[in-house]
Amino acid sequence: MRASRLVSLLLLLQTKGRMTAQALADELEVSVRTIYRDVESLHAAGVPLYGDAGPSGGYQLLDGYRTRLTGLTEQEAESLFLAGLPGPAADLGLGDAVSAAQLKLMAALPSPMRDRASRMATRFHLDAPAWYYDPERSPLLGLVADAVWRERLLEVSYRRWRSPEDVTRVLRPLGLVLKAGRWYLVAQGLSRISTYRVAQIQAAAVLEESFTRPEGFDLAAHWAESLEDFQSRQYTGEAVIRLSERGWESFASHVLPVVAKAAEESVVDDGGGFRVTIPIESLGHATGMLLRLGGEVEVLHPAELREQVTAAVRRLASIYLG
């Protein structure tokens, strides 16, 4: 455990540069006193590590020092080959780089670990797009990725769903996210950070002007918050429904996870079925969703949704029963 922590401490300093004892303690989830002891151990092992006192001080490796660590565990080596996403990497123009990096890593591993890592790549495959959906073609993805990487302003012509549909924006591109086979650009405009679907960018140009990223911006955290905010705005109402036993068993396969979760948290066995409360986006959307369950569901509330489902069933009956 301690040996692993010493390696992690060394790698943190190698990748992040100067770090305070408190920052190292936070990263490694240990006390500051433990960091002091670990630094002394690295000193004793001959690692050129020094510290500066004061508000801007911290620990730092001697300039030019790079450790050649080969102490990967079997699980770590396997995970590196599982984590390689050849499709997305190729989309970003990094397909050859990923292949070359894996080849170098494979050559550096001991024989038993090499066999296990190779087996991982032949046993598991990640297919990012959802069922029945092909990955979107985003011909400008490489150009957008270049602007993200070089921190250059990006001028785009973008097609959105509301009027005016075609708009021109100058953006500060902060990051790219792959979600269910679709690429999204997270970028800062004049006032706020927004999300743009890369496939909807009609034209783009990388400008010579650079920009400074917002201090402390975390792409993964921002994306998680954006999804939560989107879902909270998407579902503006609630419905109470009764499901048959068969309907309850198959309910989760017909709805989005957020709806299935709400059903699980509110389910009540009323003797003749299962009564649940679920969030709904709109009456029309909820009607289409519930009709997939056929006779296994009954709308109890609101009355407007029950009326819409009833009207839809009557239209179907008139078509099929004459």
Condensed to tens digits (0 to 9), the pLDDT of residues 215-269 reads: 989 999 999 998 888 877 788 899 999 999 999 999 998 888 889 999 999 999 9
Q: Which residues, 6+ apart, have CB-to-CB distance to 312 below 8 Å?
A: 287, 291
DSSP state of 200: G
Residue 246 to residue 117: CA distance in whole angstroms: 43
Q: So what's the pLDDT on residue 86?
A: 63
Confidence of residue 57 (pLDDT cuts 50, 70, 90): confident
Q: So what's the pLDDT on residue 96?
A: 67
Closest CA to 292 of 272, 309, 275, 315: 309
Confidence of residue 13 (pLDDT cuts 50, 70, 90): confident
Of the two residues 14 and 129, the one the predictor is more confident about is 14
DSSP state of 20: -
AA identity, residue 298: E
Backbone phi and psi for residue 39, each to the nearest 5 degrees, phi listed first: -65, -40
Distances (CA, A) of 245 to 226, 249, 265, 268: 35, 6, 17, 12
The mean pLDDT of the chain is 83
Q: So what's the pLDDT on residue 5?
A: 79
Of the two residues 100 and 229, the one the predictor is more confident about is 229
Q: So what's the pLDDT on residue 72?
A: 62
Of the two residues 75 and 285, the one the predictor is more confident about is 285
Assess contact for 320 and 312: CB atoms under 8 A.
Answer: no
Of the two residues 99 and 263, the one the predictor is more confident about is 263
Closest CA to 198 of 252, 255, 136, 148: 136
Q: Which residues pair with 178 in a beta bridge?
A: 183
Preceding omega of 302 cis (within 30 degrees of 0): yes
Residue 146 to residue 154: CA distance in whole angstroms: 10
Residue 176 to residue 148: CA distance in whole angstroms: 8
- Name the least confident of 58-62, 101-105, 142-146, 169-173: 101-105
Q: Is the pLDDT of residue 84 over 60?
A: no
Assess contact for 170 and 208: CB atoms under 8 A.
Answer: no
Cβ neighbourhood burial of 240 (10 Å; 0-12, 13-18, 19+) = middle
Q: Is the pLDDT of residue 299 over 90?
A: yes
Q: So what's the pLDDT on residue 191?
A: 82
Q: Is the pLDDT of residue 298 over 90?
A: yes
- Most confident range (mean pLDDT) of 63-77, 103-117, 273-287 is 273-287
Using the CB atoms, write b or e for 179-188: b if 16+ within 10 Å.
Answer: eeebbbbbbb
Q: So what's the pLDDT on residue 312?
A: 94
